[in-house]
Amino acid sequence: MTESDQQPWGRVDETGTVFVRIGDAEREVGQYPDGTPEEALAYFERKYADLAGQVGLLEQRARRGAPAADVAKAVAALQTAVSDAHAVGDLASLSTRLEALSGTVGELTEQQQAEAKAAVAEGIRTRTAIVEAAEALAAQDPAKTQWKQTGARLDELFTEWQRHQQDGPRLPKGEANTLWKRFRTARTTIEQHRRAFFAELDTAHRDVRSRKQRLIERAEALAPRGIDGIAEYRSLLDEWKQAGRAGKKQDDALWARFKAAGDVLFQAKAEIDAQADIEYQANLDVKLALLEEAEPLLSERDHARARTKLVDVQRRWDEAGRVPRDQVRQVEDRLRKVENHVRALEAEHWDREDPEKKARSEGMLGQLNDAIEKLESELAEAREAGDAKAIAAAEEALEARRAWLKAVGG
């Protein structure tokens, strides 16, 4: 290989010395004495390829938004490496590309500074929102606060704070400290309110427990009185309802004892009632038989016979005595139905027999009959005369009088 036929970016002389061409000049880059000129050039071309690869990677990093300071540092290092490179290739183009990257670094720096500023502003807004949410929880009325939900929400806010602190932008120290102090103060306030609320609640629960313990003791003391203690137990129950809450677990246990004391009394009453129901069964049988006698009166139309029979049934009904409680409503309703029917018969009778009503009815009947007789005569005369208008008037008036006569029972 002659010198003129060698690679355009470099050559090898007869001593094995390798030169790189940069524009119209050249400089020595090294020797490769134990190889052919082709091997010597290939060796130094590989060094160039390595440098070109580094420049290409740096260009990609800049395009992808790598930190401007890192890019600037890498550009400076590569510029030094290229200017002194022991390599064969288009070193001038690499220098030009690095110069272009130097200009890009300035733009990249401005862009990244703007982005960083915006990220910090957004970070401040995010943490401020977390702080304000915590302060809103702290401002709640402790007496109306749902403490379980509030505690869970505060934990969520703290987790958000930690996540933002780890993954978000680094905030200026002063603003970061101010926001953290606000958040910490809100947490402390919430915890103080919670402790005070539950301390007060515990005191109230203790007072309620004491009142309910006393009510239980009074209720349990009624046991020897049996059914006679029920009225007082019901009075104690009213006091129990007004006593307030002692906490769910305590309330359940206290109520179980109070109810057990009442169950003793009501069980005694149930036993007495059961015995009474047995004794009253015979009375029920008597009243059912009396109903069999009384219910046929529902079809009776003579008020006097109905009243006589009903009075007899009512007398024997009262003599029969009490019936089992679960049967009282049923038998009483059946008897009421018969009594109502008899009263309706009597009312109907007195409506018909009222002397004043009767006189008025008889006087009206006479008047209507006289009017009808007169109208019939007028109708006959009109027909004989062939007076159509008179016929129509007489027929209309006659029809009305006959309807009135029917209505008053004529």
pLDDT at 214 over 70: yes
pLDDT at 52 over 90: yes
- Measure Cα distances from 193 to 77, 199, 264, 276 in Å: 61, 10, 45, 60
Structure tokens at 398: 């006659």
pLDDT of residue 63: 82
Number of H helices, E strands in the chain: 11, 3
State the sign of the Cα–Cα–Cα–Cα dihedral 208, 211, 216, 222.
Answer: negative
Q: Are 277 and 250 in contact (CB under 8 A)?
A: no
End-to-end CA distance of the chain: 155
Lowest mean pLDDT of 32-41, 148-157, 399-408, name the range.
399-408
- Residue 208 sits at the vertex; the CA angle it makes with 207 and 212, to the nearest 5 degrees, is 120
Lowest mean pLDDT of 88-97, 127-136, 141-150, 278-287, name the range.
278-287
pLDDT at 4 over 50: no
- Between 278 and 216, the higher pLDDT residue: 216
pLDDT band at 88 (very low <50, low <70, confident <90, very high): very high
Q: Are 287 and 331 in contact (CB under 8 A)?
A: yes
Q: Are 55 and 78 in contact (CB under 8 A)?
A: yes
pLDDT at 264 over 60: yes
- Nearest CA to 158 out of 195, 138, 133 is that of 133
Q: Are 134 and 157 in contact (CB under 8 A)?
A: yes
DSSP string, 306-325: HHHHHHHHHHHHHHH----H
Longest Cα–Cα distance in the chain: 169
Q: Are 343 and 385 in contact (CB under 8 A)?
A: no
pLDDT of residue 227: 81
Mean pLDDT of 219-227: 82
pLDDT of residue 346: 84
pLDDT band at 56 (very low <50, low <70, confident <90, very high): very high
Q: Are 60 and 49 in contact (CB under 8 A)?
A: no
Dihedral through CA 162, CA 164, CA 168, CA 169, nearest 10?
A: -80
Helix, strand, coil share (%) of the chain residues, nearest 5: 80, 5, 15
Q: Are 401 and 372 in contact (CB under 8 A)?
A: yes
Is residue 84 classed as helix, strand or coil in its secondary structure? coil
Is residue 26 classed as helix, strand or coil in its secondary structure? strand
Contacts of 2 (CB under 8 A, 6+ apart): none
The proportion of the chain whose per-residue pLDDT surpasses 90, expressed as a percent, equals 15
pLDDT, tens digit (0-9, with 9 covering 90-100), for 20-50: 998 888 899 998 878 888 888 999 999 999 9
pLDDT of residue 170: 84
Rounded-to-integer distance, Cα 191 and Cα 184, Å:
11
pLDDT, tens digit (0-9, with 9 covering 90-100), for 276-311: 677 788 888 888 998 898 899 888 888 888 889 888
pLDDT at 360 over 60: no
pLDDT of residue 358: 54
Rounded-to-integer distance, Cα 187 and Cα 51, Å:
57
pLDDT band at 407 (very low <50, low <70, confident <90, very high): low
pTM (2 d.p.): 0.39
pLDDT at 173 over 90: no
Rounded-to-integer distance, Cα 152 and Cα 156, Å:
6
pLDDT at 5 over 50: no
pLDDT band at 2 (very low <50, low <70, confident <90, very high): very low
The proportion of the chain whose per-residue pLDDT surpasses 70, expressed as a percent, equals 89
pLDDT band at 185 (very low <50, low <70, confident <90, very high): very high
- Nearest CA to 47 out of 63, 26, 32 is that of 32
pLDDT of residue 115: 64
* Paired strand residues for 10: 20
- Nearest CA to 82 out of 59, 61, 60, 98 is that of 98
pLDDT of residue 147: 85
Rounded-to-integer distance, Cα 89 and Cα 399, Å:
136
- Measure Cα distances from 345 to 129, 314, 333, 338, 361 in Å: 85, 17, 19, 11, 20
pLDDT, tens digit (0-9, with 9 covering 90-100), for 63-73: 887 887 888 88
Mean pLDDT of 164-185: 87
